[in-house]
Structures are given as C-alpha cells and as structure tokens.
C-alpha cells in the first residue's frame, strides 16, 4: 500500500528546513549503505549525529504524532529517527530493498523496517530525474511529490531513485515499525478506518458505526504485536 500524505510540512516549514540543510555539513551517503547497496548508492547524506539532522528530525517526529492519517496508515510502534539526503550531479540509488533491522545510533534500540517514508523537501520543477520508483503489487509506481508531501510504502518493496540530471533533490527518509507486521493486514485496517471516518462524518449517529468500530478494534487486537 502506497499512501501519500499531502502538505505534511507547510511551504514555510519546507523553506526553513532547506535553509538549515544548506548550512549543514554533508557526507558521502555510501557510509550508511548495506553491503549490497554500497555500489548502487550515489548521494550525499547528513551524519546521524548532525545537530541539524536531530533538530529537523525531532520536528518531523512531533508532526507525525499529530497526523491521524499517518496513525491510520502506519499504526506506529517505533520510528527510526529521520535522516536527510541530497541527490545532484547524476546522483542516484539503484534497485534495493531496505535493511530489515536498523539499530538507532548510540542506543540499544532496534527498529524493524515495516514501512519506509520519504518527505520531499524540493519542488518537482527544481530538479530533473530523481523519481522514487517503487515496485508495488499493482506494478511500478513512480513518485515525485510536491515539497512538503510524504509518501509511505512497504519496506519490503524493491525501489530506486533515478539519477538527478539537473538541480538538487533534498528529502528526509526514515522507517517505521508498525504494531501490525503484515502489510496486507495493515491495508485492511486502513481501508476500514477510512470508511468508518467517512461514515462518521456523513451520519454521526448511525449505530452501525459503533459495530464497525468494534470490528476494527477487534482485528487490531488480534493482529497487533503489542
């Protein structure tokens, strides 16, 4: 399931974030690549202990907790701290699947990567190429959203970033461990939750909404790992 969260960041928040990123010290993105992805990854990245990365990452995490759409789509259990990358001058990331387990630097915390997330910080017209290409159940999805938008998709998906041939592509990327491991089960819960919310807005006093809500929570109770 690929989910777009539009306007996750406002345009002013994007401008402020980019201003900080332009002053930060970037390193070769290959330093965090796995063995198989080492030669496929050609980009720049902020070190995980970068003050800028931590400041912007904490801000992104604070916003995620306020988004009912993200909560419905992801059912968060743990979230890996947001990281930041830059693609330019033919930078790309070839076909790969994200590492299953990631340890949060400097801690004993481990996060299983159920859901991959990207927050776009550059407008599509500011760069050429740089599409996030995801191999989905329904075929190839090519993602190049507006600055401030987020995309969420299963970390089990084969994906790549096409070469940026002109301009610069800035983004934040990170992972979520969901309360529900199965992508199929998360999709069922997400669709059910969206339907309940829509029905509640149309007919708030409908008694069947209570019954449907019970079905949702009983499925979550059955499938949740916590």
Tell whether residue 96 is among the known ligand binding residues: yes
Q: How far, in Å, CA of 29 to CA of 182, rounded?
A: 30
**Residue 172 near residue 82 (C-beta atoms within 8 A):** yes
Regarding pTM above 0.85, the answer is yes
183-223 folds as DNA Excision Repair, Uvrb; Chain A (4.10.860)
Q: What is the pLDDT of residues 152-170, one digit of tens each?
A: 999 999 999 999 999 999 9
**Residue 73 near residue 64 (C-beta atoms within 8 A):** no
**Residue 122 near residue 161 (C-beta atoms within 8 A):** no
Q: What is the pLDDT of residues 191-219, one digit of tens each?
A: 999 999 999 999 988 889 999 999 999 99
Taking phi over 0 as left and psi of -120 to 50 as alpha, with beta for the rest, 76 belongs to beta
Tell whether residue 159 is among the known ligand binding residues: yes
Locate the domains of the chain by residue range. Answer: 3-178, 183-223
Tell whether residue 98 is among the known ligand binding residues: yes
Let me know if domain 3-178 sits in CATH 2.60.40.420. Answer: no
Tell whether residue 39 is among the known ligand binding residues: no
Q: How far is CA 51 from CA 4, 9, 85, 113, in A?
A: 28, 20, 15, 24
């Amino acid at each position: 399931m690929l989910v777009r969260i539009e306007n996750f960041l406002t345009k002013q928040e994007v401008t402020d974030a980019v201003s900080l990123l332009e002053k930060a010290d970037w390193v070769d993105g290959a330093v965090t690549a796995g063995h198989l992805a080492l030669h496929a990854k050609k980009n720049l990245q902020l070190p995980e202990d970068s003050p800028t990365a931590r400041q912007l990452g904490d801000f992104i995490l604070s916003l995620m907790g306020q988004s009912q759409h993200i909560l419905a789509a992801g059912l968060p259990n743990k979230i890996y701290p947001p990281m930041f990358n830059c693609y330019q001058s033919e930078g790309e990331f070839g076909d790969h699947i994200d590492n299953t387990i990631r340890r949060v630097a400097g801690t004993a915390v481990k996060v299983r990567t159920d859901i991959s997330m990207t927050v776009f910080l550059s407008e599509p017209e500011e760069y050429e190429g740089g599409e996030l290409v995801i191999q989905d159940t329904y075929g190839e999805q090519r993602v190049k959203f507006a600055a401030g938008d987020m995309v969420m998709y299963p970390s089990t998906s084969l994906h790549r970033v096409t070469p940026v041939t002109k301009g610069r592509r800035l983004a934040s990327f990170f992972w979520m461990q969901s309360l529900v491991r199965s992508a199929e089960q998360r999709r069922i819960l997400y669709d059910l939750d969206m339907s309940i919310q829509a029905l509640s807005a149309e007919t708030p006093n409908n008694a069947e909404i209570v019954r449907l809500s019970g079905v949702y929570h009983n499925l979550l109770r059955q499938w949740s790992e916590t």
